Every structure is written in structure tokens, then in C-alpha cells.
């Protein structure tokens, strides 16, 4: 297994507050939440580094992550809107080199994205 914190969470070696799981996707609450709802959605498979490594071979997992996001937004009753963010590379603030999506909700998220 890669020396990767999200792979260790997916393997159950590091605990998390789980929000959703299926055969290929895991969602869990971010330890440093930036919104009242801040969930990380990851493919269980290690896709390093991030969005830049999405290919024809693995892009179905991106769809599965977005399916999980839609399901979570419904389950959590997110009504005021939500945002899905993925950071790619240190210049964009990426700190964990395993493809993941931030699901943010529960506060006014503003119109700026940069
Ligand atoms: P990024 O900066 O886009 O790579 O996002 C990585 C996110 O992972 C950050 O928001 C961290 O707070 C979060 N994070 C790191 N380690 C853990 C952990 N063990 N459990 C939950 N969230 C984590
Ligand atoms: Zn990983």
C-alpha cells in the first residue's frame, strides 16, 4: 500500500468519522473543517496525485465520487447549496496526494473561487 494517509483511512488503519462507503468510494469528515459540512470523498483506490492524473481508465471513479456527493447532499438535507472542490498540486493547496473531493456546505460559500 502507498504511504498515504487516505489509503490508510480507506484500509481502516487510521480512524475517520465516516459519512458514506461503498465498494469503490469512501467519504469522511475533514479533521479541519472549513464549513459546517466538510466531507472528503475519495476513491478507495490510490489515484496519485489528483485531478491531473484522471484518465479514461480511472475516470469512472470520479463519477462514483460525484454520485456519493449527490447522495450525501440529499441525506444531510443540504438545502442552501453546496460546493465540490478538488485541489491539484501544492500551488492550489493540495496537501494529500490521493485524488479527493471536498464537499462543502452549511454556510454562505460566496461567489469567489480563487
Ligand atoms: P487538500 O489540502 O485539498 O489536499 O485536502 C486534504 C484535506 O485532508 C485537508 O482539508 C485536511 O484537513 C484533511 N485531512 C488530512 N488528514 C486527515 C485525516 N486523518 N482525517 C480527515 N481529514 C484529514
Ligand atoms: Zn492513497
Which domains does the chain show, CATH number per domain? 5-105 (3.30.428.10)
- Model pLDDT, residue 85: 97
- Residues in contact with ligand 1 by the CB-under-6-Å rule are 5, 14, 16, 30-32, 40, 87, 93-96
Distance CA 79, CA 20 (A): 19
Cβ contacts of 38 within 8 Å, gap of 6 or more: 29, 30, 102, 103, 104
Closest listed ligand to the CA of 40: 1
Average pLDDT over residues 33-43: 97
38 is catalytic: no
Residue with cell 465520487: 65
Residues with CB under 5 A from ligand 2 (ion): 4, 6-7, 46, 98
Q: What is the pTM of this model?
A: 0.97
- Model pLDDT, residue 38: 98
Find the 17 Cα to ligand 1 centroid distance in Å.
Answer: 12
Amino acid at each position: 500500500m502507498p504511504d498515504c494517509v487516505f489509503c490508510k483511512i480507506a484500509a481502516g488503519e487510521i480512524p475517520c468519522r465516516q459519512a458514506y462507503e461503498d465498494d469503490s468510494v469512501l467519504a469522511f469528515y475533514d479533521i479541519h473543517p472549513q464549513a459546517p459540512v466538510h466531507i472528503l470523498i475519495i476513491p478507495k483506490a490510490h489515484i496519485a496525485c489528483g485531478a491531473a492524473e484522471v484518465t479514461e481508465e480511472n475516470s469512472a471513479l470520479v463519477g462514483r465520487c460525484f454520485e456519493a456527493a449527490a447522495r450525501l447532499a440529499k441525506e444531510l438535507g443540504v438545502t442552501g447549496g453546496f460546493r465540490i472542490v478538488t485541489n491539484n498540486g501544492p500551488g492550489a493547496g493540495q496537501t494529500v496526494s490521493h485524488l479527493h473531493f471536498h464537499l462543502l456546505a452549511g454556510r454562505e460559500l460566496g461567489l469567489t473561487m480563487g
